[in-house]
């Protein structure tokens, strides 16, 4: 039997979930998923904007209100809440519309080219949705953060379809929420066949950091020197794309096509290391779309033997991690990759670790802003802080990093909700351990860890953009 989820139930869920003290968040979302057998993605789309995309600002809501009512700005109270004003235009006391119909209108509103068209699309809603539920609808259309996190969504799907959390999380990270939930609904979900989609950005989690090789949980391994930043390369007969570790596309500016043609790499997805200053800035590290998902890391590197040496990042194979200790004499940190590691796309401790033995060179950078982002492992949202280097009398963003320090007194109040942008209220300088840096065809980049707050620093102490590429050298 096909069940149609009513919008009044979905709107009530939004109001309940907006209470941040609510603990059973995933269970509420799961109940809505189960109540919408027609299209279980409908409540997910409403409660959590998976793809981000366009949202309406307060100015948009004000203009829509003026268009619908014919009012003039000076006829409205000073700085009113436009969402509250629009909700008061409801012409009914009872909500009588399905959730699917409302979600379809949300998609039309967000894709509309102007507010005249948005007003026309929204007008029927005032006759079928009451004031209370209209408020939830307009909150979904606004730039306000969603009431649930990505982890809540993954857990809800896991509960609704009685599927292990880690399997759902891997599928969502690689294939997306809609594809995952539809395959579960149709009974076609097969965890062993989950693969990343070529052309869709991958989130590449940072390796677990250890201070000594005794903490490493595997035997035979490959040693990789830290030289640049990781990117993923997606190559098909029709397209060639490159993405950063956050899954955002990078403009190859034409040079990438020539590199692929000369390197003669096969079609697929590859993990690469990008470092300016080398004879070849882009080098292959791993094959992320192997023919067999059970291939070990050593087996996945075997096809690289047929490619030019300059296109592959050279590594040393060791019988045990302890034999890498000698590298610490020259490198501040290095990567160990398990020769028998199987791809999980999550960089687990059984696959890869970063060994940091010596203290990296410290430099000072400025925090330009922050943002709350989804956790690569499906955990609580993480805070990413934009690092800026001195560029004349201004600053240029060179990377992002997490921090264990509390920066609240230097920024505006914020909620730890995915998608939230954190604005700085006063200058904040931090000391960082620099592992690699450069400035190449993909722009400035730095791989660093925040290790302290420099309250007495200023622009004169801040690392200059011209130092990128040398910041990791004593």
Please indicate, yes or no, whether residues 132 and 275 belong to a single structural domain of this protein.
no
CATH (domain of 38): 1.10.3260.10
Please indicate, yes or no, whether residues 140 and 26 belong to a single structural domain of this protein.
yes
CATH (domain of 407): 2.40.50.140
- The pTM of the full predicted model, rounded to 2 decimals, is 0.62
295, 330, 356 — which closes off a domain? 356
Q: Which helix (H) or strand (E) holds 63?
A: helix 58-69
Residues contacting residue 452 through CB under 8 Å, at least 6 positions apart: 405, 430, 431
Give the structural domain span for 445: 362-467
Q: How far apart are CA 41 and CA 431, in angstroms?
A: 44
194, 218, 247 — which closes off a domain? 194
Inter-axis angle of helices 165-175 and 177-185, nearest 10: 130
Q: How far apart are CA 427 and CA 92, in angstroms?
A: 51
Question: Burial of 461 by CB count in 10 Å (0-12 exposed, 13-18 middle, 19+ buried)?
Answer: middle
CB 50 within 8 A of CB 178: yes
Per mean pLDDT, which range of 86-95, 295-304, 336-345, 442-451 is the poorest?
A: 442-451
Mean per-residue pLDDT over the chain, rounded? 84
Please indicate, yes or no, whether residues 181 and 212 belong to a single structural domain of this protein.
no
Helix (H, G, I), strand (E, B) or coil at 69: helix
Please indicate, yes or no, whether residues 292 and 433 belong to a single structural domain of this protein.
no
pLDDT at 331: 57
Question: Burial of 394 by CB count in 10 Å (0-12 exposed, 13-18 middle, 19+ buried)?
Answer: exposed
Please indicate, yes or no, whether residues 266 and 393 belong to a single structural domain of this protein.
no
Q: Which helix (H) or strand (E) holds 356?
A: strand 352-356
Please indicate, yes or no, whether residues 352 and 368 belong to a single structural domain of this protein.
no
pLDDT at 430: 92
Calculate mean pLDDT across residues 8-32. Answer: 86
- Domain assignment present for 474: no
CB 53 within 8 A of CB 110: yes
Q: What percent of the chain has pLDDT over 70?
A: 89
Please indicate, yes or no, whether residues 330 and 412 belong to a single structural domain of this protein.
no
Task: Give residue for tokens 């199987």.
Answer: 342
Measured from the Cβ of residue 186, the count of other Cβ atoms closer than 10 Å reads 8
Measured from the Cβ of residue 3, the count of other Cβ atoms closer than 10 Å reads 11
Q: How many domains does the chain have?
A: 3
- Domain assignment present for 199: no
The encoded tokens of residue 138 equal: 């307009």
**Better-predicted residue by pLDDT, 332 or 26:** 26
Q: How far is CA 58 from CA 62, 144, 148, 435, in A?
A: 6, 10, 22, 42
pLDDT at 156: 93
Measured from the Cβ of residue 306, the count of other Cβ atoms closer than 10 Å reads 10
Q: Which helix (H) or strand (E) holds 327?
A: none
Please indicate, yes or no, whether residues 113 and 239 belong to a single structural domain of this protein.
no
- Domain assignment present for 201: no
Question: Burial of 134 by CB count in 10 Å (0-12 exposed, 13-18 middle, 19+ buried)?
Answer: buried
**Better-predicted residue by pLDDT, 7 or 279:** 7
- Domain assignment present for 75: yes
- Domain assignment present for 118: yes
Calculate mean pLDDT across residues 407-413. Answer: 88
Q: Which helix (H) or strand (E) holds 101?
A: helix 99-111
Count of helices and strands (H, E) across the chain: 13, 16
- Domain assignment present for 81: yes
Please indicate, yes or no, whether residues 19 and 142 belong to a single structural domain of this protein.
yes
Inter-axis angle of helices 150-160 and 25-34, nearest 10: 50
Please indicate, yes or no, whether residues 51 and 21 belong to a single structural domain of this protein.
yes
- Note the pLDDT tens digit of each residue in 202-253: 778 778 878 788 888 899 999 998 888 888 999 998 889 998 887 778 876 6
- Note the pLDDT tens digit of each residue in 424-463: 888 899 988 887 777 665 667 787 888 888 887 888 788 8
Please indicate, yes or no, whether residues 168 and 275 belong to a single structural domain of this protein.
no
Task: Give residue for tokens 């969603």.
Answer: 146
Q: Does pLDDT of 360 surpass 60?
A: no
Q: Does pLDDT of 345 surpass 80?
A: yes
Q: How far apart are CA 47 and CA 206, in angstroms?
A: 29
Query: Using alpha carbons only, how large is the chain's radius of gyration in Å?
Result: 25
Q: Does pLDDT of 129 surpass 90?
A: yes
Q: How far apart are CA 80 and CA 210, in angstroms?
A: 53
pLDDT at 53: 57
Please indicate, yes or no, whether residues 47 and 187 belong to a single structural domain of this protein.
yes
pLDDT at 292: 84
* CA distance from start to end of the chain: 69
CB 371 within 8 A of CB 420: yes
Q: How far apart are CA 340 and CA 298, in angstroms?
A: 7
194, 217, 249 — which closes off a domain? 194
Calculate mean pLDDT across residues 276-305. Answer: 88
- Domain assignment present for 451: yes
Residues contacting residue 331 through CB under 8 Å, at least 6 positions apart: 225, 226, 358
Give the β-pairing of 208-210 and 282-287.
unpaired
Q: Does pLDDT of 333 surpass 90?
A: no
- Domain assignment present for 202: no
CB 157 within 8 A of CB 33: yes
CATH (domain of 318): 3.30.470.30
- pLDDT range class, residue 474, cuts 50, 70, 90: very low
Q: How far apart are CA 267 and CA 296, in angstroms?
A: 19
């Amino acid at each position: 039997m096909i069940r149609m989820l009513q919008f009044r139930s979905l709107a009530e869920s939004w109001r309940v979930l907006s209470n941040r003290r609510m603990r059973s968040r995933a269970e509420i979302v799961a109940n809505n998923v189960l109540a919408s057998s027609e299209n279980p993605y409908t409540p997910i789309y409403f409660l959590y904007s998976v793809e981000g995309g366009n949202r309406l600002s307060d100015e948009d809501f004000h203009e829509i209100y003026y268009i619908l009512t014919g009012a003039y700005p000076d006829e409205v109270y000073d700085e009113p809440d436009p969402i509250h004003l629009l909700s008061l235009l409801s012409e009914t006391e009872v909500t009588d519309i399905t959730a699917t119909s409302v979600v379809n209108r949300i998609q039309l509103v967000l894709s509309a080219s102007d507010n005249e068209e948005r007003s026309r699309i929204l007008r029927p809603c005032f006759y079928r949705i009451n004031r209370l539920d209209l408020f939830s609808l307009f909150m979904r259309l606004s730039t306000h953060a969603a009431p649930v996190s990505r982890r809540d969504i993954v857990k809800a799907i896991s509960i609704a379809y009685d599927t292990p959390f880690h399997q759902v999380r891997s599928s969502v990270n690689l294939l997306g929420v809609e594809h995952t939930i539809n395959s579960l609904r149709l009974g076609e979900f097969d965890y062993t066949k989950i693969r990343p989609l070529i052309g869709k950005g991958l989130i590449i989690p940072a390796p677990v950091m250890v201070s000594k090789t005794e903490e490493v949980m595997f035997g035979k391994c490959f040693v990789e020197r830290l030289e640049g930043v990781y990117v993923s390369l997606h190559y098909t007969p029709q397209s060639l794309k490159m993405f950063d570790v956050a899954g955002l596309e990078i403009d190859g500016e034409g040079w990438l096509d020539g590199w692929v043609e000369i390197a003669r790499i096969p079609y697929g997805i590859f993990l690469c290391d990008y470092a300016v200053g080398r004879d070849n800035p882009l080098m292959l590290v791993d094959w992320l779309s192997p023919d067999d998902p059970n291939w070990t890391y050593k087996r996945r590197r075997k096809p690289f033997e047929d490619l030019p040496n300059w296109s592959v990042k050279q590594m040393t194979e060791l019988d045990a991690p302890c034999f890498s200790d000698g590298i610490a004499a020259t490198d501040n940190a290095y990567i160990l990759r398990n020769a028998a590691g199987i791809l999980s796309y999550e960089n687990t401790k059984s696959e890869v670790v970063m060994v940091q033995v010596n203290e990296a060179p410290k430099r000072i950078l400025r925090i330009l802003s922050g943002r709350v982002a989804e956790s690569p492992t499906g955990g609580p949202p993480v805070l990413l802080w934009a690092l800026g280097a001195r560029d004349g009398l201004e600053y240029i963003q060179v990377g992002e990093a997490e921090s264990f320090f509390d920066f609240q007194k230097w920024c505006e109040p914020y909620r730890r909700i995915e998608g939230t942008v954190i604005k700085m209220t006063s200058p904040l300088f931090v000391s960082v351990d620099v592992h690699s840096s450069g400035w190449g065809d993909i722009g400035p980049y730095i791989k660093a860890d925040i290790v302290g707050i420099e309250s007495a620093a200023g622009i004169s102490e801040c690392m200059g953009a011209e130092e990128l590429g040398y910041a990791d050298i004593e």
